[in-house]
Amino acid sequence: MPAHLVLIDALNLIRRIYAVQERPFLLNHELAENTKKQVVHNTKQACLQALSNIIDIHQPSHALAVFDSQQPCWRYQLYPDYKKGRKKMPEHLAQALNEIQDSFMNLGVDSLESEQDEADDLIATLSVKVALRAQYTTIISTDKCFLSLLSEHIKVYDYFNRRYLDADYVQQKFQVNASQLLDFWTMVGDTTNKIPGVAGIGQITAAELLKEHGSLGAILACDSLKASVKTKFEQANEQIELTRQLLTLKQDIPLGFNLKDIRLAQEPAASEMEVEQSLEH
Protein backbone atom coordinates (compact mmCIF):
# COMPACT_ATOMS: atom_id res chain seq x y z
CA MET A 1 0.00 0.00 0.00
CA PRO A 2 1.47 3.41 -0.98
CA ALA A 3 2.31 6.05 1.59
CA HIS A 4 -0.33 8.72 2.16
CA LEU A 5 0.84 11.97 3.74
CA VAL A 6 -1.66 14.44 5.19
CA LEU A 7 -0.32 17.99 5.43
CA ILE A 8 -2.34 20.37 7.57
CA ASP A 9 -2.18 24.09 6.86
CA ALA A 10 -2.20 24.66 10.60
CA LEU A 11 -3.00 28.35 10.93
CA ASN A 12 -5.68 28.09 8.24
CA LEU A 13 -7.34 25.42 10.38
CA ILE A 14 -6.73 27.03 13.77
CA ARG A 15 -7.79 30.57 12.87
CA ARG A 16 -11.01 29.43 11.24
CA ILE A 17 -11.86 27.31 14.26
CA TYR A 18 -10.97 30.20 16.57
CA ALA A 19 -13.32 32.53 14.65
CA VAL A 20 -16.20 30.12 15.22
CA GLN A 21 -15.40 29.79 18.93
CA GLU A 22 -14.96 33.55 19.36
CA ARG A 23 -18.12 34.67 17.59
CA PRO A 24 -20.70 33.99 20.36
CA PHE A 25 -18.61 36.01 22.86
CA LEU A 26 -17.90 39.09 20.75
CA LEU A 27 -19.16 42.44 21.99
CA ASN A 28 -18.66 45.43 19.67
CA HIS A 29 -16.16 43.30 17.72
CA GLU A 30 -14.05 42.88 20.86
CA LEU A 31 -13.55 39.97 23.22
CA ALA A 32 -13.87 40.66 26.93
CA GLU A 33 -10.66 40.02 28.87
CA ASN A 34 -12.29 37.52 31.23
CA THR A 35 -13.51 35.33 28.36
CA LYS A 36 -10.28 35.11 26.33
CA LYS A 37 -9.01 32.09 28.26
CA GLN A 38 -12.31 30.29 27.76
CA VAL A 39 -12.34 30.96 24.03
CA VAL A 40 -8.73 29.79 23.69
CA HIS A 41 -9.54 26.65 25.69
CA ASN A 42 -12.56 25.95 23.45
CA THR A 43 -10.38 26.51 20.39
CA LYS A 44 -7.73 24.06 21.58
CA GLN A 45 -10.35 21.39 22.22
CA ALA A 46 -12.01 21.98 18.84
CA CYS A 47 -8.64 21.86 17.04
CA LEU A 48 -7.80 18.56 18.68
CA GLN A 49 -11.17 17.15 17.66
CA ALA A 50 -10.67 18.44 14.11
CA LEU A 51 -7.29 16.72 13.88
CA SER A 52 -8.80 13.48 15.13
CA ASN A 53 -11.56 13.79 12.51
CA ILE A 54 -9.02 14.46 9.75
CA ILE A 55 -7.08 11.33 10.64
CA ASP A 56 -10.29 9.27 10.74
CA ILE A 57 -11.49 10.62 7.39
CA HIS A 58 -8.25 10.23 5.45
CA GLN A 59 -6.54 7.35 7.24
CA PRO A 60 -3.04 8.65 6.42
CA SER A 61 0.17 6.74 6.97
CA HIS A 62 2.02 10.02 7.67
CA ALA A 63 0.89 13.44 8.91
CA LEU A 64 2.34 16.83 9.71
CA ALA A 65 0.95 20.19 10.85
CA VAL A 66 2.76 23.02 9.08
CA PHE A 67 2.94 26.50 10.64
CA ASP A 68 3.93 29.88 9.26
CA SER A 69 7.09 31.53 10.48
CA GLN A 70 6.69 33.96 13.36
CA GLN A 71 8.85 36.42 11.36
CA PRO A 72 7.86 38.11 8.08
CA CYS A 73 8.71 35.80 5.19
CA TRP A 74 10.73 36.59 2.07
CA ARG A 75 7.66 37.84 0.22
CA TYR A 76 7.52 40.93 2.47
CA GLN A 77 11.07 41.78 1.44
CA LEU A 78 10.08 41.64 -2.23
CA TYR A 79 6.81 43.50 -1.71
CA PRO A 80 6.28 45.40 1.57
CA ASP A 81 2.51 45.68 0.95
CA TYR A 82 2.14 41.88 0.95
CA LYS A 83 -0.95 41.00 3.04
CA LYS A 84 -1.28 44.67 3.99
CA GLY A 85 -4.30 45.32 6.16
CA ARG A 86 -4.91 41.68 7.03
CA LYS A 87 -6.17 41.25 10.58
CA LYS A 88 -3.41 40.06 12.88
CA MET A 89 -3.76 36.96 14.99
CA PRO A 90 -5.02 37.81 18.49
CA GLU A 91 -2.14 37.78 20.95
CA HIS A 92 -3.90 35.38 23.32
CA LEU A 93 -4.32 32.89 20.47
CA ALA A 94 -0.70 33.32 19.33
CA GLN A 95 0.46 32.53 22.87
CA ALA A 96 -1.53 29.28 22.79
CA LEU A 97 0.01 27.89 19.60
CA ASN A 98 2.69 25.92 21.42
CA GLU A 99 0.03 24.23 23.54
CA ILE A 100 -1.96 23.39 20.42
CA GLN A 101 1.17 21.90 18.85
CA ASP A 102 1.69 19.81 21.99
CA SER A 103 -1.89 18.54 21.82
CA PHE A 104 -1.37 17.60 18.16
CA MET A 105 1.73 15.67 19.20
CA ASN A 106 -0.41 13.70 21.65
CA LEU A 107 -2.17 12.32 18.58
CA GLY A 108 1.17 11.54 16.97
CA VAL A 109 1.16 14.52 14.61
CA ASP A 110 4.32 16.63 14.75
CA SER A 111 4.57 20.29 13.71
CA LEU A 112 6.92 22.06 11.33
CA GLU A 113 7.76 25.76 11.13
CA SER A 114 10.32 27.55 8.99
CA GLU A 115 12.25 30.65 9.95
CA GLN A 116 11.97 32.33 6.56
CA ASP A 117 9.33 30.58 4.46
CA GLU A 118 5.58 30.40 4.68
CA ALA A 119 3.65 27.26 5.48
CA ASP A 120 2.46 27.35 1.85
CA ASP A 121 6.04 26.91 0.59
CA LEU A 122 6.82 24.11 3.02
CA ILE A 123 3.62 22.29 2.12
CA ALA A 124 4.33 22.67 -1.60
CA THR A 125 7.88 21.37 -1.17
CA LEU A 126 6.76 18.34 0.82
CA SER A 127 3.88 17.55 -1.54
CA VAL A 128 6.05 17.66 -4.64
CA LYS A 129 8.88 15.64 -3.09
CA VAL A 130 6.43 12.92 -2.05
CA ALA A 131 4.67 12.98 -5.43
CA LEU A 132 7.99 12.50 -7.21
CA ARG A 133 8.21 9.17 -5.38
CA ALA A 134 4.75 8.23 -6.73
CA GLN A 135 3.23 8.50 -3.25
CA TYR A 136 0.19 10.52 -2.20
CA THR A 137 -0.43 13.77 -0.33
CA THR A 138 -3.66 15.36 0.87
CA ILE A 139 -3.39 19.03 1.82
CA ILE A 140 -5.93 20.16 4.42
CA SER A 141 -6.63 23.81 3.66
CA THR A 142 -9.11 26.28 2.21
CA ASP A 143 -6.27 28.36 0.72
CA LYS A 144 -6.68 28.51 -3.05
CA CYS A 145 -2.91 28.70 -3.66
CA PHE A 146 -2.58 24.92 -3.27
CA LEU A 147 -4.95 24.28 -6.18
CA SER A 148 -2.08 24.89 -8.61
CA LEU A 149 -0.44 21.73 -7.20
CA LEU A 150 -3.34 19.41 -8.03
CA SER A 151 -2.25 16.20 -9.72
CA GLU A 152 -2.71 12.46 -9.61
CA HIS A 153 -0.69 12.36 -6.39
CA ILE A 154 -1.68 15.65 -4.72
CA LYS A 155 -5.19 16.46 -3.48
CA VAL A 156 -6.61 19.44 -1.57
CA TYR A 157 -9.35 18.90 1.02
CA ASP A 158 -11.61 21.55 2.56
CA TYR A 159 -12.22 20.19 6.06
CA PHE A 160 -14.92 22.73 6.91
CA ASN A 161 -17.11 21.87 3.93
CA ARG A 162 -16.01 18.21 3.86
CA ARG A 163 -15.11 18.20 0.17
CA TYR A 164 -12.13 17.84 -2.13
CA LEU A 165 -11.21 20.93 -4.11
CA ASP A 166 -10.51 19.07 -7.32
CA ALA A 167 -10.09 19.80 -11.02
CA ASP A 168 -13.85 20.15 -11.53
CA TYR A 169 -13.99 22.66 -8.67
CA VAL A 170 -11.17 24.69 -10.26
CA GLN A 171 -12.86 24.67 -13.67
CA GLN A 172 -16.22 25.74 -12.25
CA LYS A 173 -14.77 28.49 -10.05
CA PHE A 174 -12.06 29.93 -12.29
CA GLN A 175 -12.91 28.62 -15.78
CA VAL A 176 -9.32 27.42 -16.27
CA ASN A 177 -7.36 24.24 -15.63
CA ALA A 178 -5.36 23.77 -12.44
CA SER A 179 -2.13 23.93 -14.47
CA GLN A 180 -3.14 27.42 -15.67
CA LEU A 181 -3.90 28.88 -12.25
CA LEU A 182 -0.54 30.54 -11.69
CA ASP A 183 -0.84 32.33 -15.04
CA PHE A 184 -4.46 33.21 -14.24
CA TRP A 185 -3.63 34.71 -10.83
CA THR A 186 -0.62 36.54 -12.27
CA MET A 187 -3.04 38.35 -14.57
CA VAL A 188 -5.89 39.01 -12.13
CA GLY A 189 -3.84 39.38 -8.93
CA ASP A 190 -4.63 38.04 -5.48
CA THR A 191 -6.79 40.45 -3.47
CA THR A 192 -6.61 38.25 -0.36
CA ASN A 193 -2.87 38.85 -0.11
CA LYS A 194 -2.96 42.34 -1.64
CA ILE A 195 -0.98 41.27 -4.71
CA PRO A 196 -1.93 43.32 -7.77
CA GLY A 197 -2.39 41.84 -11.22
CA VAL A 198 -2.54 43.44 -14.65
CA ALA A 199 -4.66 46.58 -14.42
CA GLY A 200 -7.82 46.20 -16.49
CA ILE A 201 -7.62 42.40 -16.83
CA GLY A 202 -10.38 40.71 -14.88
CA GLN A 203 -11.19 37.06 -14.33
CA ILE A 204 -13.41 36.68 -17.39
CA THR A 205 -10.85 38.19 -19.75
CA ALA A 206 -7.97 36.22 -18.18
CA ALA A 207 -9.87 32.94 -18.50
CA GLU A 208 -10.78 33.67 -22.12
CA LEU A 209 -7.19 34.53 -23.00
CA LEU A 210 -5.90 31.33 -21.40
CA LYS A 211 -8.55 29.27 -23.13
CA GLU A 212 -7.49 30.72 -26.48
CA HIS A 213 -3.69 30.81 -26.03
CA GLY A 214 -2.99 28.21 -23.33
CA SER A 215 -0.47 30.12 -21.21
CA LEU A 216 0.59 33.60 -20.14
CA GLY A 217 3.83 33.20 -22.08
CA ALA A 218 1.88 32.54 -25.27
CA ILE A 219 -0.37 35.52 -24.57
CA LEU A 220 2.60 37.85 -24.13
CA ALA A 221 4.19 36.54 -27.33
CA CYS A 222 1.03 36.85 -29.42
CA ASP A 223 1.04 39.54 -32.12
CA SER A 224 -2.69 39.38 -32.77
CA LEU A 225 -3.97 40.58 -29.38
CA LYS A 226 -6.39 43.48 -29.39
CA ALA A 227 -4.39 46.70 -29.16
CA SER A 228 -6.07 47.71 -25.89
CA VAL A 229 -5.27 44.35 -24.28
CA LYS A 230 -1.69 44.32 -25.56
CA THR A 231 -1.15 47.81 -24.11
CA LYS A 232 -2.34 46.65 -20.68
CA PHE A 233 0.20 43.84 -20.65
CA GLU A 234 3.00 46.08 -21.91
CA GLN A 235 2.32 48.63 -19.18
CA ALA A 236 2.34 45.90 -16.53
CA ASN A 237 5.55 44.20 -17.64
CA GLU A 238 7.46 44.67 -14.37
CA GLN A 239 4.34 44.03 -12.27
CA ILE A 240 3.78 40.69 -14.01
CA GLU A 241 7.26 39.51 -13.09
CA LEU A 242 6.88 40.54 -9.43
CA THR A 243 3.37 39.13 -9.09
CA ARG A 244 4.38 35.77 -10.53
CA GLN A 245 7.34 35.57 -8.15
CA LEU A 246 5.11 36.35 -5.16
CA LEU A 247 2.49 33.79 -6.20
CA THR A 248 4.89 30.96 -7.00
CA LEU A 249 5.15 28.38 -4.22
CA LYS A 250 8.70 27.26 -3.50
CA GLN A 251 9.20 23.54 -4.08
CA ASP A 252 12.86 23.11 -3.22
CA ILE A 253 13.24 24.00 0.47
CA PRO A 254 15.81 21.81 2.27
CA LEU A 255 13.80 20.00 4.94
CA GLY A 256 16.36 18.09 6.95
CA PHE A 257 14.20 15.16 8.05
CA ASN A 258 12.98 11.79 6.79
CA LEU A 259 9.47 10.82 5.86
CA LYS A 260 9.67 8.08 8.48
CA ASP A 261 10.01 10.81 11.13
CA ILE A 262 6.40 11.87 10.57
CA ARG A 263 4.89 8.41 10.22
CA LEU A 264 1.84 7.84 12.38
CA ALA A 265 2.04 5.08 14.97
CA GLN A 266 1.55 2.00 12.82
CA GLU A 267 3.68 -0.59 11.09
CA PRO A 268 4.67 0.63 7.62
CA ALA A 269 3.99 -1.46 4.56
CA ALA A 270 6.96 -2.54 2.46
CA SER A 271 6.23 0.10 -0.19
CA GLU A 272 6.20 2.80 2.49
CA MET A 273 9.56 1.67 3.81
CA GLU A 274 11.00 1.95 0.30
CA VAL A 275 9.81 5.54 -0.11
CA GLU A 276 10.88 6.70 3.36
CA GLN A 277 14.14 8.11 2.18
CA SER A 278 15.67 11.43 3.14
CA LEU A 279 13.72 14.60 2.29
CA GLU A 280 16.70 16.76 3.13
CA HIS A 281 17.53 17.79 -0.43
Residue scoring higher pLDDT (71 or 109) = 109
Residues 162 and 256 in one domain: yes
- Going by pLDDT thresholds of 50, 70 and 90, the confidence category of residue 277 is low
CA-nearest of 147, 124, 141 to 249 is 124
Kindly indicate the confidence band of residue 225, based on its pLDDT and cuts at 50, 70 and 90: very high
* CATH code, domain carrying 47: 3.40.50.1010
Question: Taken in order 8, 14, 15, 17, is the CA torsion positive or negative?
Answer: positive
Residue 53 confidence (pLDDT) above 70: yes
Residue 276 lies in a domain: no
Our count of domains for the chain comes to 2
Whether 279 is in a domain gets the answer no
Q: How far is CA 6 from the centre of its chain?
A: 13
Q: What is the pTM of this model?
A: 0.93
CA 80 to chain centre: 20
Tell me: the pLDDT tens digits for 76-123?
999 999 999 888 899 999 999 999 999 999 999 999 998 889 999 999
Question: Do 235 and 262 have their domain in common?
Answer: no
Q: Cα(197)–Cα(184) distance, rounded to whole angstroms?
A: 9
**Same domain for 208 and 129:** no
Helical H segments across 61-166, by residue range: 74-78, 91-94, 97-106, 119-131
List the CATH number of the domain containing 212.
1.10.150.20
Domain limits for position 121? 4-169+250-268
